[in-house]
Amino acid sequence: MHTQTSQAFDNPRLARPHPAQSYRNKPSLDKPGLLVMDVDSTLIEEETIDLLGALAGVGEEMAAITARTMAGGFAFAQSLRRRVALLQGLDASALDTAFRNSHFTDGALELVDALHRHGWKVGAVSGGFHETVDRLASAAHLDHWLANRLETHAGKLTGRLAGDIVTRQTKAEALRTWAGSEGIAMGQTVAVGDGANDIPMLEQAELGVAFCAKPAVRQAADACIETHDLRLVLTLLGE
């Protein structure tokens, strides 16, 4: 890991909170807090592994596994290994191409900047890869980030991962760890994600936000954003 709400939901682009949830103790921008978000299809518009799959000529097969995984049809670790195996033999320079082909989601950089102005910290935890996430985090001026690593040999991807896999539980643990390291109370934490592997992180945070998410994720979240604009997170926090 790097170190580097009773609420009115009048905006039609925001879904109403789940009726079982309470916002009386929602995080406040008036004191330090922590927001942690997913990367693929949240911080950025694309799924990095799908970009790599297209470059390897296995795009359709890769995208099908990704879609089924995000909907909860595959265990994430099993799915990730299957998808990474499809990349065996791909030139490592494809990671540079994937980074260049990635685009920050509308409002992502503005959200980070606004939170920093309020004294908040911002992190990202990803089932994607440090080889691209490191550069995305630097460009977005994130405070913390964590991702998987791809194994390479002689300039080629081996089709295997190096080190431990970032799982759904890893994401929740990262939120707690970063909050603790920054001295931020869990009541001042927000998590944002779109896939099934984000659910424990959304449930761990004081405010869990489903971002253009799958049905199971929307059900688990405190609030939903249905437009691809991360600035709407600020609306949930009262700005």
Radius of gyration for the chain, computed over Cα atoms and rounded to the nearest angstrom? 17
Q: Residue 219 phi/psi, 5° resolution?
A: -65, -35
Give the H/E segment covering residue 54. helix 48-55
- Would you say 62 and 80 are in contact if contact means Cβ atoms under 8 Å apart? no
Q: Is 41 left (phi over 0), alpha (psi -120 to 50) or beta?
A: left
Active site positions, annotated? 38, 40
Q: Residue 238 phi/psi, 5° resolution?
A: 95, 10
